[in-house]
Amino acid sequence: MSLKKEYRLKKRRQFLEVYSKGKSFSTKYLVIYYLPGKDSKLFGFTVSKKIGKAVKRNKIKRQLREVVRLYLNSFPENCFYVINTKKSSKEADFQGFLEDITLFLKWINEKDFNSNH
């Protein structure tokens, strides 16, 4: 099973809006950009060509989508998220991404998320 398409950011302008207006959180393997105050919860994933060829990049995107699917209900509502990989994610496995996303969720859910608007 994978993250349903209805939860995906698809348009370039949506990604650019998150980059320009949103905030970021950095972990060992990922940089997570988030933009609260939207009308739905959507996720985008980017994996740089520095990580490897298409097969490797697609595998990482599949792993990230699965981690997000598992923790979908833990992400705050009405927010756009863009998850970028760092060069270090070349060595990462599913467990590493799981730990990074868990760290982000712990951090963001400790904040009073709605006061950031």
Q: For residue 1, give both structure tokens.
A: 């099973």
Range of the domain at 91: 5-109
CATH number of the domain to which 81 belongs:
3.30.230.10
Tally of domains in the chain: 1
The answer as to whether 116 is a domain residue is no
Give the phi and the psi of residue 21 in degrees, each rounded to 5. Answer: -105, -15
The answer as to whether 26 is a domain residue is yes
The answer as to whether 19 is a domain residue is yes
Dump pLDDT digits (tens) for 14-68: 999 999 999 999 999 999 999 999 999 999 999 999 999 999 999 999 999 999 9
- CB-based contacts of 22: which residues, under 8 Å, 6+ apart? 33, 34, 35, 80, 82
Tell me: pLDDT of 89 over 60.
Answer: yes
Tell me which amino acid residue 49 is: K
The answer as to whether 52 is a domain residue is yes
